[in-house]
Amino acid sequence: MRSSTKLLLILPAALLLAGCAATTLPEFEAEQTDRDVVPDASAQADIDADTTRFVGEVEGAELYIARGADDTLCVIHIRDDEWEQMGCGGGLGAGLTLKSGTRIEAGTFQFPEVQVGDGTREQLSESVTVISYP
């Protein structure tokens, strides 16, 4: 009887935690298309080329997300078919600050408000937000 009581107390907490833990982002649920393929992605050891997904354009350049090594999420910034920047973060979140100062939040990552300041957030895709400055 005693172990049954413990199980009844532990089970709801375990189920709650399991329900909160997402295993992927919505962009990765769809099959990769030709538009999602990043130039020279297979040459990058830090990412899985089969997981690249186009999420939109920022400042005239293309933005992608991909699964990286060691269960990371990566944000890739490509301009004129050339890799301009890439940033990876643990689990389901990554942030990237472009050379212009524009910030990209992907997945669960959010810049601290003190870094965002008077920036304006705009949703680029289901999992990616762009913070731009006037």
| Position 10 in a domain | no
What does the pLDDT read at residue 71?
83
pLDDT tens, the chain, 134 aa long: 454 443 334 434 433 333 444 468 999 999 999 999 998 888 888 899 999 999 999 999 999 999 998 889 999 999 998 999 999 998 889 999 999 999 999 999 999 999 999 999 999 999 999 999 98
**What are the phi and psi torsion angles at 5 (to 5°)?**
-65, -45
Please count the structural domains in the chain. 1
Parent domain of 107: 23-132
Please state, in angstroms and rounded to a whole number, the distance separating the CA atoms of residues 2 and 44: 54
The pair of structure tokens assigned to 1 is: 């009887």
| Position 70 in a domain | yes
The H or E element spanning position 13 is helix 2-20
Please state, in angstroms and rounded to a whole number, the distance separating the CA atoms of residues 61 and 81: 9
| Position 15 in a domain | no
- Inter-residue contact 131 to 111 (CB < 8 Å): yes
pTM over 0.85: no
